[in-house]
Structure 1
Amino acid sequence: MKTTFKMLALSAATAVSLTFVSHSYAASSSFTDLTNIAAKDKIIALQEQGIVRGISETLFAPNETITAAQGIQLIVNAANLNLDLVRFLVEPKATDYFKNADDDAWYANALITASVNGVELPADLDPNKKWTREAFTHYLIRTIEAHSNLPMMNLAPVEINDEEDLTIEYSGSIQRALAYDAMKLDEQGNFRPKAEISRAEAAELIYNVLEYVKAHPAPSPQPEPETGSETNA
């Protein structure tokens, strides 16, 4: 069971906008392994925004699959989640939220950041388990939707040939990802939900959904009507 910490200014942290700060190291791409990758330009664009990194200065490893921990770090980066406005009375540990986590692992802060910012991950998450296409899609879409106030849409479900392979609780997020044009089915109309997701696929999905967010900004809040001060004599 997750431990609940008393925090100050949590609502402000969860309301952080989708702005991205470029890092100096990402001014230009030097990846040498993207030549035949269809999402090359999208990967480079995300690198320039500081959202993705390579496994080295020259290698992105587009065909390598990602673990849950790596996927969560990507989601945290994509939604620009942080702990800047959060003050803990007790310093949190990753294992306070995820029993299978390692408090000394590189991913510990990403797991804490995701949980504090409302990313709904299972408490028995295995950070080292390879993530599937359906799992990454579900958690990314849910997180981006929660932190960008996307307008509601009338959804006409797409027919997915391998729909019987989908995890039921992920199906809505996947349908919305298709509606956002963040991803497409393959030529056979399959989603391949249980296939492990590659770094290139994850990056392309992130790029596409963020482009949708930019094209569909949240509506501006309407000013409250003025109230009269007159009273009956």
Structure 2
Amino acid sequence: MTNKWKWIASAVVLPVMLSGSVAFAFSDTKGDPAEAKIEALQKEGILNGTNGGKFAPQAALTYDQGIHLLVKGLELNIDNIRFIKEPKASDYFKKVSDSAWYSQDFIIGQFNLGLPQDIDPRGTITREQFAVLLSNAINQKGTFPVIALYNFLADEGSVNQEASGSIQFLLNTKIAKLNAKNEFRPKAAITRSEAADLLYEARAFVTSHTGSEQAPSAEPGAEPTSQPGSGSSSGHEGVGNVITEAALQIDKVNEAINKVTLTVQVPHPGYGVEITGIEFPGGGKAVIRYRLTDPDPTKFYPMVVSSAKVSTYLSSEYTPTAEPAN
């Protein structure tokens, strides 16, 4: 295998908007419904404002601001993705300059959020569009069991069908709420204040489900319904009674590159999967080696069969297969 195929993407240092810790509160958020959440996010260095110390809470959120907010606020990255060439924003987007301060955010967003090629960085984001992006970002942080209840929306007829599931997810997790008229207002441009409110709640939700959890209460002498993660396994031998053979999904990124996603069934959401390397034995074949990652032994997981996924990117010249790591 030549060095050409051993290249692994590293974080590209590009100019980005500074968002370090700020000592003083924004001067224009007093009385805003999300004032306390905006202040909390500002203190963590996630939100930034103008040179005049303002946040502009009622201004419409634009895509460059929104993608940066999600990438930074939910700590999205491409650390586990292997590339055959250094990724550039112009490889995936028609209107995103490689020199823009947000270009790295859009590259990360492409692989975590699912962004269209013709996305306009200065275009405004509607509430339903942000719901889709936010739910996609949350699902990159883990598998979260959610009771699937249907929430009635008075303006359901205005919701894009592709956004309906994301909106229901945010409502069922209590990250989002309807207004007093049971409206979500899907087509309205989301404000910077509303986006900060949703991000704050999303971060709290992810933290509460990925931090240490107590075992569920049970009657005296009863066995708990969830059990801590323990042990590890990889390859076709399986974990418990679940075969860990990976299913492959191939999605065309462009004429030269395919996105290959490996999906492995695991006994509970504590297990993950990672790619350990890619071999090129010849004949236009690529063998993706993978293994399962251990559950956190300090956490309790619902014993529900789940899917663990990991993606990589390959030249379209190769036909991929997946094999467990030796």
Same fold (TM over 0.5): yes
Q: Which residue of 2 aligns with 1:172?
A: 165
Task: Say if 1:112 and 1:145 are closer, same or farther in 2 by CA, change over 3 A.
Answer: same
Q: Which residue of 1 aligns with 2:200?
A: 207
Query: Is the contact made by 2:20 and 2:46 (CA closer than 8 Å) also made in structure 1?
Result: no
Q: Which residue of 1 aligns with 2:29?
A: 34
How many positions carry a matched residue from both structures? 209
Q: Alignment partner for residue 92 of structure 2, among 87, 91, 97? A: 97
Q: Tell me the distance in 2 between the aligned counterparts of 1:55 and 1:120.
A: 29
Query: Is the contact made by 2:89 and 2:96 (CA closer than 8 Å) also made in structure 1?
Result: yes
Q: After superposition, what is the alpha-carbon deviation per residue over 1:52-98, rounded to whole angstroms, capped at 9, x for unaligned?
A: 11123511110111111211111111121245676765333211111
Q: In the alignment, is residue 122 of structure 1 matched against residue 130 of structure 2?
A: no
Query: Is the contact made by 1:150 and 1:217 (CA closer than 8 Å) also made in structure 2?
Result: no
Q: Secondary structure at the match of 1:52?
A: coil
Q: Which residue of 2 aligns with 1:17?
A: none
Bigger mean CA deviation after superposition, 206-215 or 94-103:
94-103
Q: Secondary structure at the match of 2:210?
A: coil
Task: Say if 1:6 and 1:168 are closer, same or farther in 2 by CA, change over 3 A.
Answer: farther
Q: CA deviation at 1:27?
A: 4.7
Amino acid aligned to 2:199:
I
Q: Alignment partner for residue 43 of structure 1, among 19, 38, 46? A: 38
Unaligned runs of 5+ in 1: 14-22, 228-233
Q: Tell me the distance in 1 between the aligned counterparts of 2:54 and 2:90.
A: 32
Q: TM-score, normalised by structure 2?
A: 0.58
Amino acid aligned to 2:167:
I
Task: Say if 1:29 and 1:175 are closer, same or farther in 2 by CA, change over 3 A.
Answer: farther
Q: CA deviation at 1:181?
A: 1.0
Q: Tell me the distance in 2 between the aligned counterparts of 1:177 and 1:49.
A: 23
Identity %: 37
Unaligned runs of 5+ in 2: 12-17, 214-227, 238-326
Q: CA deviation at 1:118?
A: 2.6
Bigger mean CA deviation after superposition, 203-212 or 81-90:
81-90
Bigger mean CA deviation after superposition, 98-107 or 201-210:
98-107
Q: Secondary structure at the match of 2:134?
A: helix
More RCO (CA 8 Å, sep 6+): 1
Task: Say if 1:25 and 1:64 are closer, same or farther in 2 by CA, change over 3 A.
Answer: same
Q: Which residue of 2 aligns with 1:76?
A: 71
Amino acid aligned to 2:39:
I
Q: After superposition, what is the alpha-carbon deviation per residue over 1:13-33, rounded to whole angstroms, capped at 9, x for unaligned?
A: 9xxxxxxxxx99415333111
Would you tell me which structure has more strand in proportion to its own residues? 2
Q: Which residue of 1 aligns with 2:147?
A: 154
Would you tell me which structure has more helix in proportion to its own residues? 1
